[in-house]
Structure 1
Amino acid sequence: MSSLAQIEAFLPVSSTITTSGQPTTEQFADIASAGYNLIINLATPASTNWNPEESAIVENLGMEYIGIPIDWDNPTLSDFDELAIKLDENPERKIWVHCAKNMRVSAMMYLYHRLRKGYTEISARGYLEQIWQPNQIWQNFIDATIELYEE
């Protein structure tokens, strides 16, 4: 799995879920070889290193591709819910979730682990903080989402 560790912002979060920044075309082949069969991309066409051919590349390697484009400046509750549903629907599959730099993903995975999986704040935040400290937009989104879920 050492080749996978070369992918930008590579972060395994469980035995079935790994997150990262944008993989290259060649790295998608490594991901497929490692047994991943579902790719979820949270980046948008405006993101750094966006690959317009990604869905075709992923599907040609025998993996399923799901795009959930999340606006960097305006993440929404529906974005979070859409990702959480996909993760909940596929508990046995090996899933690779990425965006441009693993920043969108790490924030969403923090919320997923905290709100859907019952992780403690410290445990859930550990994954997030390995990647970044959320900016004001993302911290406000995180706080608002937690508040909605904990009502």
Structure 2
Amino acid sequence: MRDLPHILNWRRISGRITTSGQPSEAELAEIKSLGVTHVVNLGPHHNKGALEDEPGTVSGLGMTYVYIPVEFDHPTDADFDAFRHALENLKDTTIHVHCIYNARVSAFFYRYARTGHLLAEATAFENMDSIWKPGADWADFIGDPKALDQPNRYAGEDY
């Protein structure tokens, strides 16, 4: 399966799962061409950079849209449970998971790996760390007590 590295923070998690920041409508069509059947969005529709009608675009391309809006300043265990449930329900499909920057998504996959699922914890950490270093609420969310007093830091920007 080919990759689409021109999409913001594109990452391949496995042969059937890819992630990124917010894809454009044209990029969603490219994602579809990879054989993706389901798009999972963790970025709320009200976020700057979100598509005007992503559910309609995804549906119009013949893919299924799964929406789990995670407020960036307050990720919750319920959000994680919805994410875990979606991954488990889609285990036999090809999926693309995104948010606005791939920060939420990479943290969710890291936490998922920490529970012994899908990826080795070190691999999931490297993926997340190549995008950002979670601090404060996100450090608590992923179980990193040493970063609780740190701000969120983004690769190539402020660390």
Output the CA distance in 2 between the equivalents of 1:95 and 1:118. 14
Q: Displacement of 1:116 after TM fit?
A: 4.5
Task: Please tell me the residue identity of whatever aligns with 1:34.
Answer: L
**CA deviations over 1:113-132 (Å, ceiling 9, x no partner):** 22141754323312211211
Output the CA distance in 1 between the equivalents of 2:118 and 2:30. 32
When the two chains are superposed, the root-mean-square deviation of aligned CA atoms in Å is 1.6
| SS of residue in 1 equivalent to 2:133 | coil
Q: Do structure 1's residue 71 and structure 2's residue 71 form an aligned pair?
A: yes
1:91-130 correspondence runs (5 A): 91-117=91-117, 119-130=119-130
After superposing the two structures, state which structure 1 stretch, 59-68 or 132-141, moved more. 132-141
1:12 maps to 12
Q: Percent identity?
A: 36
RCO higher in structure (CA 8 A, sep ≥6): 1
Task: Please tell me the residue identity of whatever aligns with 1:65.
Answer: Y
| SS of residue in 1 equivalent to 2:93 | coil
**CA deviations over 1:60-94 (Å, ceiling 9, x no partner):** 10000011000100000010010111101111211
2:133 maps to 133
Output the CA distance in 1 between the equivalents of 2:98 and 2:28. 11
Task: Please tell me the residue identity of whatever aligns with 2:6.
Answer: Q
Count how many residue pairs are aligned between Structure 1 and Structure 2. 143
> Are the structure 2 counterparts of residues 33 and 114 from structure 1 closer, same or farther at C-alpha, using a change threshold of 3 Å?
same
2:155 maps to none
Output the CA distance in 2 between the equivalents of 1:104 and 1:98. 8
Task: Please tell me the residue identity of whatever aligns with 2:89.
Answer: E
Structure 2: tracts of 5 or more residues without a match: 145-159
After superposing the two structures, state which structure 1 stretch, 19-28 or 38-47, moved more. 38-47
TM-score by length of 2: 0.84
Task: Please tell me the residue identity of whatever aligns with 1:90.
Answer: L
> Are the structure 2 counterparts of residues 119 and 38 from structure 1 closer, same or farther at C-alpha, using a change threshold of 3 Å?
closer
1:89 maps to 89
Q: Is the 8 A contact 2:18 2:97 kept in 1?
A: yes
Output the CA distance in 2 between the equivalents of 1:19 and 1:120. 17
Q: Displacement of 1:106 after TM fit?
A: 0.3
**CA deviations over 1:23-61 (Å, ceiling 9, x no partner):** 000001101111000000000133231113100000010
Output the CA distance in 2 between the equivalents of 1:30 and 1:119. 25
Runs of 4+ in structure 1 over 6 Å off: none
> Are the structure 2 counterparts of residues 54 and 119 from structure 1 closer, same or farther at C-alpha, using a change threshold of 3 Å?
closer
Task: Please tell me the residue identity of whatever aligns with 2:130.
Answer: Q
